[in-house]
A = this chain, B = another copy of it.
């Protein structure tokens, strides 16, 4: 049978509509998170902003917590290059600087706060990507045969103060401050 001459449907690619719904819903979440109005982030509100049916959102994500985890997965995956300067101290300084900069972005911070607020699995998504990068830096140094702090210690000394300051205080995450965190983890 010859190909139909009807114009291609925009939905014809598998996942096409699905991908558009996902993009619209993710965008709606990002907009609502930075809205000054501060409306509660609920599935009906998100669906209305995205221009899709609430049932579509419920069916696909189940809850606001799962939806935020999905947004966080897109946001926090793959866009950060693990520093590789050849020096553990410099790698960690660059890492802390990058994370400080990232958490200083109001959009990122709003997403992190909302995820914590839902108390769901999203909080793990936020930090796991960052934790894996830290592990990669430390393991590389270990592979060079050098003494390294444990990953748990590095989390306490770097990740924890950066997230704490971002989420619980109004203080700036300055590059100088981020650097002092490294100097406490690795005293000279």
Contact = CB atoms under 8 A, between A and B. Distances in A.
Interface stretch (A5-13, A17-25, A123-131, A135-143): A123-131
Interface residues of A, number: 34
Contacts of A119: 38, 110, 113-114
A65 B41 contact: no
A165 interface: yes
B38 A40 contact: no
A62 to B, nearest CB: 11
Most buried by B among A42, A64, A159, A161: A161
Interface string A146-173: 0000000101110111011101111000
Interface string A55-80: 00000000111000000000000000
A104 interface: no
B41 A167 contact: no
Interface in A98-128: 110, 113-114, 116-119, 123-124, 126-127
B167 A156 contact: no
Contacts of A159: 164
Given A40-B41, A40-B42, A117-B116, A124 B169 contact: yes
A127 B113 CA distance: 15
Interface of A: 38, 40-42, 63-65, 110, 113-114, 116-119, 123-124, 126-127, 153, 155-157, 159-161, 163-165, 167-170, 181, 184
11 contacts: A38-B118, A38-B119, A116-B167, A124-B168, A124-B170, A156-B181, A156-B184, A159-B164, A160-B160, A163-B164, A164-B164
